[in-house]
Chains A and B, each alone.
Chain A
Amino acid sequence: MKLGNHTRAIVVGASSGIGAALVEALVARGARVAALARREGELRSLEARLRPAGEASGARLVVRAHDSSRVDEVAPLFEELFEELGGVDLVVYAAAIMPKTAPDEYDTTRDLEQIAVNVGGCIAWGNAAARLDSSQRSGVLVGISSIAGERGRKGNPVYGATKAALNHYLEALRNRLAERGAHVVTIKPGFVATRMTAGMEKPLWLIAPEEAARQILSAVESRANERFVPCRWWMVAFVIRNIPSFIFKRLSI
């Protein structure tokens, strides 16, 4: 799928980080984009910031405040955005939260909140997109997962679990939709310079969100199934996946 001024996209989780960078990249290409996020103020400033670029490219940007854990809002909102954009070809789910978790912290409420946003929201938007895409036999759904979903590490048990769940869900959806001519892309970023990685000490292979967005859109255009961002993270993933548990549990990664 070539992305350009014919593209009609919904980006969920668009106020900052990879989501905002994706909106910016799509606007630069002249697409019709709906940007959704919980923080309306940041959406408004994104809208203001992108106005000149949008005018230059002929893009259209609509913004909506939406908390992705409010799954009951998804069906009416999806329909409203479809009408507003004149169709939907691309849905990107980029919303995620990763609260700082102490090594001895076991907080069920906060854990379930992560599941609601990172997984529940993705399933709600994924199901809405899957219904549309499989019925119209076209369309792409992109899920922003993470390298963190490859193995269960000590640091963020639930964040990693939500990303592993996403990988599984997106893969299953991709296999379902394959016969129907629609597609699902799983994106597994490494460290991207966003609020999530702020405060980490020298993250490995850190890239800017704009670069991540560029690579993600290229993965969409080449109809990739899974893509590490940047690509070289696949080597790390390969090694990590193959460390036996009796060693892995003693490592501090």
Chain B
Amino acid sequence: MELAAQRSFEWCEGWGMASGSHARVLRPRGLDELRECLAAARDGGASFALRGGGCSYGDANTTSRGVVLDLSRWNARLDFDTRSGVADVDPGVTVRQLWQSILPRGHWPAVVSGTMFPTLAGAAAMNIHGKNAWRVGPIGDCILEFDLVDAAGELRTCTRTTHPELFHAAIAGAGSLGVFTRLRLSTKRVHSGELLVRAKRTANLAETMEWMESRLGTADYLVAWIDCFKDGEASGRGVIHEGRHLRPDEEADPERSLSVARQELPARIAGVFPKSEVWRFLRLANNDAGMRFVNAAKHLAGEIEERQGWYRQSHAAFAFLLDYVPNWKWAYGRSELRGLVQHQLFVPKERAKEVFLAVLERDRRAGHASYLGVVKRHRADAFWLTHGLDGWSLALDYKVEPARRVELMAHLDGNTRLVLEAGGRLYLAKDSVMGVEDARRMWGGERLARFGALKRELDPRGLFQSDQHRRVFGADFAALS
């Protein structure tokens, strides 16, 4: 059957590049094209993995058994009401399109990820969070309304009050229940294109967490990078960055500072060296010895940064650290099935420090010290398959090499045990290892059964299933209830 949607055949991988498969990709650009794709799949018995910007690290956006439905080209409409600060957008509109459109009008997205390339439909499906998660929650908490198209092509407009169940199940539902085709979300009023930022160097994990805890009431953003190579007393040493929005009286020239041009990350280092080539140099350091050195150097540099006190930094430069060096992930290797996995561990505040220290120690002993560790504070939320809880997260990047792949996955599975035993959770956008039993333990059998009931109602034939979906919920979702 001839489809109006763009069609191609590609290698589709998670953002971490360590898993993927060749698949047909369909790119609908509107509701009619989407419905046509769904009808064709229903007739042909195919299934879809939903994909937006392709920014989930693992296999949430890939499928080895079906077709990839890529919503990123459906991105023409971005309406914004300056007075209310509410944006109404097509599903493929990215975080980047959003901030570039609303910043000159004095607003910034309430929640952004560490890269600006996720689509907002993807962000809603995975329920992304930012460096302000403990204050404003995940992105779901700023979504006011969405349209969701189910497997039969039927569109439902949902809010917290009209569809309380579906609203809280579809957000963070990882694309299992349907396709977001429109999102309405609130944004934050800002008075400057810059933030006030300062760095704080810490000697170990306890100090890192205590210092962050002490700033929860006043900071707008808090994020700590930690050195995962250092052991003993200094385990979890790091550098915290605290950001605070400027008050109207602190910005002399708001119009100039709110322009997009003032936000752009420089394309060259020292005006000469193209940043697009930097990953080649990072590649030379992408081994245990090199990364031990890089982490130690970063900790040392934190000392200098801390002495500087408060300084100003653009929103984009502060928020989108992952975009600072283009394609830096290629330093992990570009050939098939090399790359990285991220494992982000969410642990209730009472147990977080103990579990994180145990994981860091376990990683070092197994020779799997993470090359990049990031600590953030979170709060609980009402989404069914959420990762959010009143506690802390530790995000760890691990290098994937073909020879140690199986061993690494088994090792990460061990870390998962430590987290789940402490009542913690994992995050589907960062997950590559979770199994059916883990899901049950994390979210509870009853909640999964309710989710399964919704799945049967909206997608009785299992049209929407990514590789991750099959791994986490089982091939036969009905078995859950």
Q: Which residues of A contact B (CB under 8 A)?
A: 72, 75-76, 78-79, 82, 87, 127-128, 131-132, 135-138, 179, 181
Contact = CB atoms under 8 A, between A and B. Distances in A.
Contacts of A179: 276, 327
B8 A128 contact: yes
Contacts of B7: 75-76
A132 B10 contact: yes
Given A75-B9, A78-B9, A137-B335, 18 more contacts: A76-B7, A79-B9, A79-B24, A82-B9, A82-B22, A128-B9, A131-B8, A131-B10, A131-B25, A132-B9, A135-B10, A135-B11, A136-B11, A136-B22, A137-B334, A138-B335, A179-B276, A181-B334
B336 interface: yes
B41 to A, nearest CB: 15
Main secondary structure of the interface of B (DSSP, over half): strand
Contacts of A132: 8-11, 22
Nearest to B54: A135
A136 B9 contact: no
B276 A135 contact: no
Interface string B1-37: 0100001111111000000001011000000000000
A78 B2 CA distance: 15
A72 B9 contact: no
A135 B24 contact: no
Complex A-B, nearest 10 residue pairs according to Cβ-Cβ distance, in ascending order: A136-B11, A135-B10, A135-B11, A131-B8, A79-B9, A75-B7, A137-B334, A131-B10, A132-B10, A78-B9
A138 B335 CA distance: 8
Contacts of B335: 137-138
A137 B20 CA distance: 13
B23 to A, nearest CB: 9
A136 B24 contact: no
Interface of B: 2, 7-13, 22, 24-25, 276, 327, 334-336
A177 to B, nearest CB: 13
11 contacts: A72-B2, A82-B9, A87-B22, A127-B8, A131-B9, A131-B25, A135-B11, A135-B12, A135-B13, A179-B276, A179-B327
A181 B283 CA distance: 15
Main secondary structure of the interface of A (DSSP, over half): helix
Nearest to B3: A75
A135 B13 CA distance: 8
A10 to B, nearest CB: 12
Contacts, number: 38
A79 B2 CA distance: 14
B233 to A, nearest CB: 43
Contacts of A78: 9
Contacts of B12: 135
A87 B336 CA distance: 13
A82 B22 CA distance: 10
Contacts of A131: 8-10, 25
Nearest to B25: A131
A194 B8 CA distance: 34
Nearest to A130: B8
B280 to A, nearest CB: 11
Nearest to A82: B9
A3 to B, nearest CB: 19
Contacts of B336: 136
Contacts of A87: 22
Contacts of B8: 75, 127-128, 131-132
A127 B6 CA distance: 12
A106 B327 CA distance: 50
Contacts of A181: 334
Contacts of B25: 131
Contacts of B2: 72
B425 to A, nearest CB: 32
Nearest to A136: B11
Contacts of A135: 10-13
Contacts of B11: 132, 135-137
A179 B326 CA distance: 11
Contacts of B10: 131-132, 135-136
A136 B335 CA distance: 8
Most buried by B among A135, A137, A179: A135
A88 B13 CA distance: 17
A127 B335 CA distance: 22
B212 to A, nearest CB: 38
Nearest to B12: A135
Nearest to B13: A135
Nearest to A128: B8
A136 B334 CA distance: 9
Nearest to B9: A79
Nearest to A75: B7
Contacts of A82: 9, 22
Nearest to B17: A137
A144 to B, nearest CB: 23
Most buried by A among B9, B22, B276, B334: B9
A97 B7 CA distance: 27
A137 B329 CA distance: 14
B235 to A, nearest CB: 37
Contacts of B22: 82, 87, 132, 136
A75 B336 CA distance: 23
A133 to B, nearest CB: 9
A225 B404 CA distance: 37
A72 B2 CA distance: 8
Most buried by A among B2, B8, B13: B8
A216 to B, nearest CB: 25
B184 to A, nearest CB: 32
A156 to B, nearest CB: 33
B52 to A, nearest CB: 16
A82 B23 CA distance: 10
Nearest to A81: B9
A124 to B, nearest CB: 11
B443 to A, nearest CB: 33
A75 B13 CA distance: 20
A133 B2 CA distance: 24
Contacts of A127: 8
